Amino acid sequence: MCGIIGYTGNKPAAPVLTKGLHALEYRGYDSAGIAVCGSEIVTVKAVGRISALEEKLRGRDLPEVCGIGHTRWATHGCPTEINCHPHLSYGGKFAIVHNGIIDNCRNLRVLCENRGISLKSDTDSELIAHLLEWEYRGDPLACLSRVAADLRGSFALGVLCADFPSDIYAAKMRSPLIIGLGEDMACISSDGTAMPKEVTSLIVLADGQVARVRPGSAEVFFRGRRVEPERVKCSSPEIAAALSGFPHYMLKEMYEQPEALARTVTEDCLGRPYLRRNVTLIGCGSSYHAALASKPLVERITGCSAEVCLASEFIYSEKTVGRGKQAVFLSQSGETADTIAAAEEAKRRGYLTLAVSNVHSSTLTRVCDEKFCTRAGPEISVATTKGFTTQVGALGVLASRNDEIAAALKELPFAAEKALAVEVGEVAKLIAKSVNPFFIGRKADYGAALEGALKLKEISYISALGIAAGELKHGSISLIEKGTPVVVVSTDEALGEKTLLSMATVRARGGTVIAVTNIDEVAQAADFVLPLPNVHPLLSAAVSVIPLQRLAYEAALLLGKDIDKPRNLAKSVTVE
C-alpha cells in the first residue's frame, strides 16, 4: 500500500526520490508523486506507474537537495493527480506525504471548511497540510506535534516546510516510518528497501514520536520532550533492509498484511481454479485454522457441506472415495510433509486436488492437479501471520463468483489496515500474566479463535486454549476462575445472542471477557474490547486475527521471549 520516501543531502533530491519510489513499488500503488523544497515547494505527480512520473520529470530543472515522495494506493478518493501526494497547504508553505488512514477526517474537513479553506482533493491526507499551515507560528516541529496530537487513526507523515528548505519533519502513529542517516545525508522511508546505500544507521520511530531530520542528523521528540532513540548500525545492510527497521520479522509481516491481501485478492482471474460441490479442506496448524475459518464461506458458495481435516489425520480416513470430490490443500510453504502426504493419498483415492500455497513452485503445487497461489511474499517469521490471512483471502477469491463475496473481498485490505491500528497494550499485560487464557468463537470466528490461541502458545509459551464457544460448557468451563481471560471473537451479528450468552456464562464464574468484535452489543457486554472494522462475516477471520496476532506479539515481548525464534519450532515442517 502507500509508501513514503524523503531525502535531504547534497545531491539533487528528485532522482533519489524516484529511485526510492521504485523500491517501494512492491507495496502496490496506483499513482506517485514528489515534492522538492527550495525557495518554494514544487510538486510533480502522475497517475499510474512511476515511469509516468519520471516522464514528467524529464527535462525539468530541479536542483533542490531536499524532498519527499509517495506511492499512493487509493483509499479516500480515486487515483487521480489531484488526490495524489504530496499535498500542498493552502498557502503553499507545507507539503506532506501520508501513509495510513485518518479516522476523524470528517470533523477535520468541517474544521477546515469553517476556516474558509477550500479543499482540492477527496483525500483525508490533504487536511493535514492545511492544518499545519493554520497552526504554524514559525516552528514546523511544534506545529506538527500539535496537529499530530489531533489526528485519530494511523499515520506516517513526511513534511516539508518552505521556510526550512533542507529539513524534513516526520511523525508516526501505527504506520511504519524509519529514518536513515549517513554522512551529509538523511532520509525517511516506510521501509529499509528504499533507503539509499549511503545510509549507515537507522532510527525506527515509535508511535507518538515526531522528528526533525537534517543532513547527517535527526532529533526525535515525544510529547514535546527530546528523546534519544536507539540507532541501529547498518553493519549488515541486508539484514537491516530485510527487517525494514522493524524489531522482528513477525511484526514486519503483520504490517505487510494489507498489501499481501490486496495482492492476493486481485490475483489474475483468468484460468483460475474454482471450488466444486464436494470440498474437503486440508492443512496443518495455522493453515488448518484458515481452512476452519473458511468452511462457512465454502459451504455458502458450493451449497453443500464442506469437510475440514487435519492433514496428519486425513490419511487414516480409510474408506473415503475421492471420485467426484475436490480436496483443497492449504500450505503457506507448500513443503509441509503431512500436507504433501495427504495430497498424494487424496490423488490415489481419486480426488481432484487443488493446492493453495504461497510458494508457487513448491512440492505441494507440483503434486496437486491445480494450484492457486497466495501472494503474501516471503514469510520469515516462524509464527505465520500473512500466510494465514492470505489463505482466507485466497479461499474468498476461489469463492468470488458470488457478487457479495467479490465486493467484500475488495474491502479486506482496508479492513486489515484498520485492524492493525487496534490498540492491544492493556489486554496484552493481562494476558502475559495469565494462566490458561481462553479464545472462543463460532463459525468463521472459531477458526480465528484457534489461530489466536496458537499464536500466543507459539511465541509466549502461555498455555492458551482455543475452543468453539458452544463447547465451553461441555467441560472446559471448569478451568474458568476469577480473572481467567476469555477472548471472545465475534463478527457475525446473527450469532450475537449466543455470544452474549457465552460471555454471561464466563462472567458469572469471574472470568474477564475480552471481545474482539465489530458488534456494539457484544462490545458493551465485555470487560475489554479490541474493536474491529466492519467486515463480511464469512471473510472476517482475515481481519479479526490481526489484533490476536498483535496480542500474542505484545505478550511475548512483555515476557522477553525470542519472538522470531520460538523454541522447538521450525518454519517448514518437512517430517511427518
Of the residues 67, 100, 285, 452, which one makes contact with ligand F6R according to CB under 6 A: 285
Is 383 among the residues that bind ligand F6R (CB under 6 A)?
yes
Reported in sequence order, the residue ranges of 225-379 that DSSP labels E, i.e. its strands, are: 225-227, 231-233, 279-283, 307-310, 326-331, 352-357, 370-373
Q: Annotated catalytic sites, by residue?
A: 2, 571
Using the contact rule CB under 6 A, the part of the chain among 83-91, 280-288, 410-418, 475-483 near ligand F6R is 280-288
Cβ atoms of 175 and 3 within 8 Å: the answer is no
Site string for ligand F6R, 397-436 (x = CB under 6 A): ----------------------------------------
What is the DSSP secondary-structure string of 369-380?
SEEEE-------
Of the residues 18, 71, 99, 287, which one makes contact with ligand F6R according to CB under 6 A: 287
Give CA–CA dist 333/346, Å, rounded.
Answer: 19
Q: At what angle do helices 285-302 and 386-398 cross, to 10 degrees?
A: 20
**Mind spelling out the 3-state secondary structure of 132-169?**
HHHHCCCCHHHHHHHHHHHCCECEEEEEEECCCCCCEE
Give CA–CA dist 474/541, Å, rounded.
Answer: 25
Is 284 among the residues that bind ligand F6R (CB under 6 A)?
yes
Using the contact rule CB under 6 A, the part of the chain among 93-101, 186-194, 272-280, 284-292 near ligand F6R is 284-292
Site for ligand F6R in 177-196 (CB under 6 A): none
Using the contact rule CB under 6 A, the part of the chain among 38-46, 250-258, 281-289, 519-527 near ligand F6R is 281-289
Q: Which three cell numbers stand for residue 430?
A: 493481562
Q: Which CB, 35 or 284, lies closer to ligand F6R?
A: 284
Q: How far is the CB of 348 from ligand F6R (least distance, A)?
A: 20
Q: Is 208 left (phi over 0), alpha (psi -120 to 50) or beta?
A: left
- For residue 330, the cross-strand partners are 356
Site string for ligand F6R, 19-58 (x = CB under 6 A): ----------------------------------------
Question: Helix, strand, coil proportions of the chain in percent (round to 5)?
Answer: 40, 25, 40
Counting residues that bind ligand F6R (by CB under 6 A) gives 15
Site for ligand F6R in 557-576 (CB under 6 A): 573
Site for ligand F6R in 317-336 (CB under 6 A): 331-333, 336
Q: Which three cell numbers stand for residue 215?
A: 543532513
Q: Which CB, 287 or 389, lies closer to ligand F6R?
A: 287
Of the residues 43, 286, 363, 460, which one makes contact with ligand F6R according to CB under 6 A: 286
Q: Which residues contact 500 (CB under 8 A, 6 or more apart)?
A: 521, 522, 525
Cβ atoms of 141 and 171 within 8 Å: the answer is no
Q: How far is the CB of 344 from ligand F6R (least distance, A)?
A: 15
Q: Which CB, 112 or 394, lies closer to ligand F6R?
A: 394
**CB-based burial of residue 335 (10 Å sphere; 0-12 exposed, 13-18 middle, 19+ buried)?**
middle
Q: How far is the CB of 470 from ligand F6R (least distance, A)?
A: 24
Q: How far is the CB of 287 from ligand F6R (least distance, A)?
A: 4
Is 384 among the residues that bind ligand F6R (CB under 6 A)?
yes
Site string for ligand F6R, 458-497 (x = CB under 6 A): x---------------------------------------
Place of cell 480436496: 327
Q: Which CB, 533 or 566, lies closer to ligand F6R?
A: 566
Cβ atoms of 472 and 565 within 8 Å: the answer is no
Place of cell 515522495: 69
Site for ligand F6R, rule CB under 6 A? 284-287, 331-333, 336, 339, 383-384, 387, 454, 458, 573
